[in-house]
Amino acid sequence: MHYVYLLESEVFVGQRYIGLTTDLRQRLRDHNAGKSSHTSKYGPWRLVTYVAFSDIEKARALERYLKSGSGHAFAKKRLW
C-alpha cells in the first residue's frame, strides 16, 4: 500500500507536513528521529490522518494536490 499522510508538530503550533510512504509506522519514527531535513527541527510529530492507496500514481496525485493552494484549503477544512 501507498500512504499519503498528514503530520502536525506537537510543539510548534501550525507546523504541518504532508508526505507519501509505503511504511507509515517507520516513516513516522524517521520523522520523530530527525531523519528528514524538512521536519527535523519541528518534532516531535503526531499523525493526524492518512489515506491508503493500492495505486502509486493515485497516491502521488493526492499528495501533489494537498501541497497545492486549493489542496491546502481542502485539507484545512476537511483533514486537519
DSSP codes of every residue in 2-58 = EEEEEEEESSSTT-EEEEEES-HHHHHHHHHTT--TTTGGG--EEEEEEEEES-HHH
Domain boundaries, the chain: 2-78
Its pTM stands at 0.94
Predicted pLDDT at 80: 87
b/e sequence 32-70, b meaning 16+ C-beta within 10 Å? beeebeebeebbebeeeebeebeeeeebeebbeebeeee
pLDDT at 12 over 90: yes
Provide the pLDDT confidence category of residue 77 given band limits of 50, 70 and 90. very high
Architecture in CATH of 2-78: 3-Layer(aba) Sandwich (3.40)
